Structure 1
């Protein structure tokens, strides 16, 4: 073999080796790319279904069908724009409904609902809610300050704060005048009673009229309380709600310590049905008071409100149904 032939053979061997090496490197790169794609196929995470690992649906979608052969061969469907949303990767069979900003609750839209985020509501101009955007379900009119002036202006998250210097001064002056008038009135009444007692009229009236009337009232109250002891109001609620009406039921709830926001929530839940508003609030009030003590509390509260006719009607409802049972 001469020199030139040896060189040609050497060149051919180098070319073949280079081609083989290049092919091996390309094959290695292809394997790496495939592995990378396989790792990224469930980029939102996975879940288990019938001993199979499936890919989660991305935010803004919900599951239509689970995977069968491969983790990523399940089917996901987008949420409906402006109607439903899902904020996180999931395998739910439906999307969450978008929150509606109720104009009757003095709410308006701040951020529209998207397929990945819920509606954000805010208070209308001139209204506020101090519960935060997430928990706010109704906004209330801002307080308007009078002559005392505004100390802190109303915002969507806090009510107006008025200056109280003049208000306090006026209040003290008014209270002083009222106190003086009451002292004079008491003194005059005392003098009149003393004069009547001198001639025997007051004493006779007290014995024959006032004491007898008070005794009868106390006896009636005692009988009512005895009758109401341990009675469960729950079966009587529909008839009691019809008798009470929303206005008086609201006043009973306020006197029992229920907050204005809680009371108004029942009104907002049934905006066009005052009977259902009253029934809903009455049910919540009975649960707060306790099933067996609510009857006594209701009658006592109505008596204090001078709603004696309604108290008597409710007593009749309870008595008739208890006797029937």
Structure 2
């Protein structure tokens, strides 16, 4: 045995080593490299920041406080970015955020019966109310309705008039979301999507059918649920419904992220911040 081993000279060992090296570098193992790359990609996407942080370039930066936005991102996880104050009376930001641009102040349109109750400040949008002899019959209020003279003295109608409703001084632009559904779904968890479409009057039967049709594919479940909601809702007001619903669910960071992504794509710049238009 020793003699046999001694016969295996350097050329044979080099040959064996070359075969092993070639087998590791062969195309058959490219799948393993792709799998590793996918795992790395998944790891990058699974970076989770705390509720008071936002994700940028793989870092979790502290959010800027209400009344300001990000002027320069942080350079290490957990650090604070450079924040810039909104212009009082022209812009506002009513929550902690990682946005790069303040929201434009809305207006109270007297043509539809609205007047200003509180001015726009850096930390809140303008607040509107109905003019005298106008009421809001369908909250949240985008416009007020005049009170017929014969009904102004009726107690029942006065109660409706005096009841406090949320006035809507701004309107989100009507954007066609059909080309953004996949990106929006990718940013939401399946729980977020289920909660959203359930509150948007998609019936449990339809939801169960979609979930069953894509039983082992959570990503496709999210896409199909959102597509069904969009088909049911229609383009008009859909963007506003999506963003305001996420904010009501205390998912402000997610709402901001989707706003930046959708508006940026519409402007041909995926990094552009969302700009909210005034009342048309």
Name the TM-score, length of structure 1 as normaliser: 0.32
Q: Which structure has more RCO (C-alpha within 8 Å, separation ≥ 6)?
A: 2
| Greater share of residues in helix | 1
The two structures have a TM-score, normalised by structure 2, of 0.37
- The structure number with the bigger radius of gyration is 1
